[in-house]
Structure 1
Amino acid sequence: MQLTRFTDIGLRVVMRLAVAGEQPAGEQSPGEQRGAATPLTTKDLAAELAVPYTHVAKVVGRLSEMGVVHARRGRTGGLTITDLGREARVGWLARSLEGDGEVVDCEGPQPCPLRRGCRLRGALARAAAAFYESLDAETVADLAAEPTTAVLLSLSTRPPQVDGPLQAER
């Protein structure tokens, strides 16, 4: 079974947002807390994940409707993952992003001549259900755990934040 590009991008977006407030080991200053960084934007995610901005914008809209991502507009806006998003089961998320369509379309513009007595449709539906059930064993937080955390954080295109006044180099 192959997931759509929409679902693929959606899963990558929530994984990246799950670690957005973290820093690689050894780079966190003593007074800095998790989540203190500026939230990522749709533009940031598109650049980091190497996918078109328009695709990420559509995915983020859907994730926001689902309550998985919180989107705030404006100068101080950005995207954050919600508690639901962090603890969401991957199977549920994939099913929600994929939609309720069947694996094969037996009733399309040219209906399949076997549709009245075919067992393939049922077998494929059971296989798809088993696929999603196996994904339900994992949460988004599980997917974003080490060693994936370090890889996700290495995607950042933003310069690291500096606390305090900037000093000119001499």
Structure 2
Amino acid sequence: MRLLRSTDMALRVLMRLAVAGESESPTTREVAADMGVPYTHAAKIVAELQHRGLLAARRGRGGGLSLTETGRGASIGGIVRAFEGEGDVADCTGGDTPCPLNSDCRLRGALRRAQEAFYATLDPFTVADMVKSPTGPLLLGLPSVRTAS
């Protein structure tokens, strides 16, 4: 199974904000640069994370992004589910040639159970868990993060 790029970016943005100091509120542009992602993509992800209550965004002078308490305690499995959607791992019904086994396929059910097991494995972990050592110190070592502190 492979995560969508938007899911990966959302997790990285949340982790970056989780290590931000109390006085630091990086902008979307700064977070995009820190994570090595295009600003336009980061802006879409930030908007979705804000809509879900996982981060707060303030505009203007002194503005920036900060992780909410909800975001800090958010389940990684829940975030991945939200960004990946409820779709099947395999596209059994789409395209020009849908699978002829679609109505009674055992593989689709097995893949769905495997997908849920993947999410369930991630459920106990929170954003705060993901930035414990050694990851948090590594994030703090990024050049733009060091100079912002």
- List, as ranges, runs of 4+ consecutive aligned residues in structure 1 with deviation greater than 2 Å: 158-161
| Secondary structure in 1 matching 2:104 | coil
The structure 2 residue matched to 1:95, chosen from 56, 81, 85, is 81
Task: Provide the alpha-carbon RMSD of the alignment.
Answer: 1.2
Measured in 1, the distance between the counterparts of 2:26 and 2:69 equals 17
- Larger Rg, first or second structure (1 or 2): 1
Equivalent-residue separation in structure 2 for 1:90 and 1:70 (angstroms)? 18
1:143 to 2:135 alignment: no
Equivalent in the alignment of 1:157? 144
Greater CA deviation, 82-91 or 94-103? 94-103
Runs of at least 5 residues in structure 1 that lack an aligned partner in the other structure: 22-34, 162-170
| SS of structure 1 residue aligned to 2:132 | coil
Calculate percent identity across the aligned residue pairs.
52
Confirm or deny that 1:12 pairs with 2:12. yes
Structure 2 match to 1:119: 106
Q: Given residue 114 of structure 1, which amino acid in structure 2 is its aligned partner?
A: L
Give the structure with the higher percent helix.
Answer: 2
Contact 1:88 1:139 in 2 (8 A): yes
Normalising by structure 1, we get a TM-score of 0.83
Aligned-pair CA distance for 1:137: 1.7
Which of 20, 29, 35 is 1:49 aligned to? 35
